[in-house]
Chains A and B, each alone.
Chain A
Amino acid sequence: MPVEVNAGLAGLSDTLILATVLLYVFAMIGYALELGFGRVTARAAAEPARELVTVGGGAPVAAETGGGDGARPVPAWASKAGLVAVVLSWLGWAANLGSILTRGLAVDRWPWGNMYEFVVAICFAAMTVFLFMQLRYTVRFLGAFVSLTATLGLGFAVRYLHIQAGPVVPALNSYWIAIHVSAAIIASGLFIMSGVSGVLYLIRGEGPSRLPSRADLEAVAHRAIVISFPIWTFAVIAGALWADKAWGRYWGWDPKEVWAFITWIAYAAYLHARATAGWRGKKAMIVQLVAFGCLLFNLVGVNMFLGGLHSYAGLPG
């Protein structure tokens, strides 16, 4: 068991995380400029619904172009700002990755043994999901909100959760941390994508707006959840396997377990809601956000308020 902490690397990790925050902030500004001065999205609801409306309404054209607003040309610098933002967020992403790696190397273990490391890793996961998703799909409109979330998360971690790099308690010193916690981090990163989309969905309402269309937001949210739900399920099961090794039972209703379960049930409820008449659309989105709230509470709230066996979390002071 290594006790040595490489102070140089640990310091580098702390510096890199500050660089990450700065880069994400600038990226966020870039995305916001593109969004603010870019095109107004006219597509209020899903296309077929609009078809129905236009047949009866007799004023189809106005809805199509979003009124006089859409006629204004998009300034070229706006989309350039978006591109710069993408580059900045890739740089921030690299610094984020560097910070995680150097911290791991400094202590010679998986770098998610306490709250600080865990939150940093989740912000990284969310950014990773976004950056790779925007390579394939048109989701750049989410950039401002994802980088805002990552910035807030990292800021919170640096300000309130930071503790010196060091070894972990024996219960965490297991290969299961690689399996269970990594899965939870990846799933959480994806859930952040869907959560951000869900919040925007509710904010934007039905009408024309600078924000992306509801159908697009719903598609992003659904896609992210469909991928992350099995990963989250796996994370919970891997956690049970680990608990079976470490504590002598695979499930003991420890507060962290209770909330992982609640989160899981809530996302399952979302999947059901999408298959239930009268629950699609807005209601399903609200269910999704409730589930996301449970996820966040489990990540942060349980460690701070409820304790339990998982309270290794290593909060400072």
Chain B
Amino acid sequence: MTRTHDPRATAEPAPEAASEAGSEAASEAGSEAGSGPGGGRDRPAGLGPVGWLRWFWRTLTSMRTALILLFLFALASVPGSIYPQRGVDPGAVAQYFKDNPGYAEWLDRFWLFDVFQAPWFAAIYLLLFVSLIGCVVPRLGVYARELRRRPPAAPRNLARLPQHAAFTAEGGATVEDLAAALRRRRFRVATGPGWVSAEKGYLRESGNLIFHIALLGMLVAVGLGSLYGYRGNVLIVEGNGFANTVAAYDRYMPGTRVSAESLAPFSFQVEDFQANYVLAGQQRGQVLDFLARLKVTDRPGAKPYEYTLKVNEPLEVDGTQTYLIGHGYAPSFTVLDGQGQVAYQGPVPCLAENINTFASECTIKVPDAKPEQLGLSVRFLPTTVPLQDGTLVSAFPAALQPTAQVRAFAGDLGLSSGIPQSVYLFDTEKLKKMKPLVMKADPLEVGQSIDLPGGAGKVTFTGVKEWISLQIAYDPGRVPALIAAVLAIAGLLLSLTIRRRRIWVRVQEPDKDGSTVVQVGGLTRTEGGAAGFAEEFADIVKALGATSAGVKDAR
């Protein structure tokens, strides 16, 4: 579509766009905004710093810059979906570093593992939002003035408008009647000698402004969440509890303005966890349902209550959400040391190496064993079946036929080295440095035990529990973000569905026989709205005719 096609170019030389001190985009309707030349139109030649500043501001707040920034914004997010992101999956980033150390280091220099926290990403969206502010604020002013202004007087030649019609009212027609008819159709109406001018569809611009302001609101809400919110992960074995304190988390990520005291003081006990699986067919082993039964205490001293935690159904306590995000097995063992003392007793969380069968691995450190420290590496199979060659595998994720295959090592666990060690992921390299005691043994069923050679002790497989991993999150920006989102949708709907349109009517002096010729012209100020407007216009002309007595020859 060419600019000459723009009916406003002929009907109305867009006075606001020309006179407005702000940018071209500051003019009342966006499509008019575009009909001027690009943002850099009046680049000041040697105008001094203030002039340059003005030029810079104009360029920044022009439609074309907004368009380019939008592109950049989209483009800049792409690497965030290609490279693993620390904020999403730190494990995958570590793996990437392991696989291509040199390349990864370079990527990291450009923040490609933290795209959405990167300074260059922030630069783009901050520029975009500054541009947005620079765009919206002047438009708010224009809009406020426009709301108070009367529709502009009728142009002289209505026949030049994109929509026009005329009819003859034999009984005469009055400006008042015609104006009233337009008012009934909820037009804002102004009248003058022999003409009516009417306008409708102001909500379109309101919608546009609401939408863009809501986008700003969204940014503020997200910022609020990252400053005052926190999230953390914790793994809990059935029967154990959790109290919401910083120390209780395995991984804790506070916002920059969160203090340890601001954590909501709730606690809960994990009574029981259940997972159900598809038993047969192509999707055999796929999980159907998880649920964890909790006993929750909202604050110290409050009465505990039962809550069933499920996927899609988080626990909420005072705005803090607790989500069930993972699960696994925790077989229990009792380890007696060489002196017959209980050196370890309880469940150990295992990590599934195959989520379809839950064949899992775990390690048990027994630093208190005497005479030597013990390390156990356990392979846990929930549903154990032998393959033809005798190797054992798990055939199903539920604990139908659980076994634990134990390898045992003796020696120094290296726990006092000062290097922090993950509770759940003990470095198996360390075990290899120790003296092997048992390397191949029959798998244990629940209740069975294995004697360690040389009187080093005894390991008993005492039972199977499950663990759940939880994400606990507090985000004060959630509700504001939702409100902003709802406003954005509402604004968008108004702005995209409502047509801004003007109708002018001219009533000519009555003829000798008292009949008058009424001319009607119409203009929609919304791009792409012309098709629907033709129908509405015809409708309006009909309605106007109906207000005047004895209409004939509607043209």
Contact = CB atoms under 8 A, between A and B. Distances in A.
A285 to B, nearest CB: 11
B81 interface: yes
B34 A218 contact: no
Contacts of A237: 485-486, 488-489
Contacts of A176: 312
A247 to B, nearest CB: 7
B2 A272 contact: no
A169 interface: yes
Given A240-B485, A252-B88, A277-B38, A169 B287 contact: yes
Nearest to B70: A269
Interface of B: 1-5, 30-31, 33-38, 63-64, 66-67, 70-71, 73-74, 77-78, 80-82, 85, 87-88, 115-116, 222, 231, 276, 278-279, 281-283, 286-290, 310-314, 321, 323, 325, 471-473, 475, 478, 481-482, 485-486, 488-489, 492-493, 496-497, 527-528, 531
A116 B225 CA distance: 37
A252 B80 CA distance: 11
B471 A272 contact: no
A306 to B, nearest CB: 6
Contacts of B489: 230, 233-234, 237
A74 interface: no
B5 A249 contact: no
A129 B189 CA distance: 38
B9 to A, nearest CB: 10
Contacts of A265: 70, 73-74
13 contacts: A170-B310, A173-B288, A173-B311, A226-B528, A233-B489, A237-B485, A250-B478, A253-B80, A262-B78, A269-B70, A269-B74, A276-B33, A306-B81
Nearest to B282: A164
Contact of B493 (A173, A223, A230): A230
Contacts of B310: 170
Contacts of B313: 245
Contacts of A258: 77-78, 80-81
Contacts of B283: 164, 166-167
Contact of B87 (A5, A174, A253): A253
A243 to B, nearest CB: 10
Contact of A245 (B279, B282, B312, B492): B312
B135 to A, nearest CB: 11
Interface in A221-253: 222-223, 226, 229-230, 233-234, 237, 240-242, 244-253
Contacts of A167: 278, 283, 286, 288
Contact of B473 (A1, A249, A279): A249
Interface of A: 1, 3, 5, 45-46, 48-49, 52, 163-164, 166-167, 169-171, 173-174, 176, 215, 218-219, 222-223, 226, 229-230, 233-234, 237, 240-242, 244-255, 258-259, 261-262, 265-266, 268-269, 272-281, 294, 302, 306, 308
Contacts of A242: 312
A258 B482 CA distance: 19
A262 B74 contact: yes
10 closest Cβ pairs, A-B complex: A248-B323, A258-B81, A255-B81, A248-B471, A275-B30, A170-B311, A265-B74, A166-B283, A174-B312, A269-B70
B289 A218 contact: no
Nearest to B30: A275
Contacts of A226: 496-497, 528
Given A173-B312, A247-B323, A269-B74, A275 B34 contact: yes
B82 A48 contact: no
Contacts of B80: 253, 258
Nearest to B283: A166
A282 to B, nearest CB: 10
Contacts of B282: 163-164, 166
Contacts of B85: 253
A237 to B, nearest CB: 5
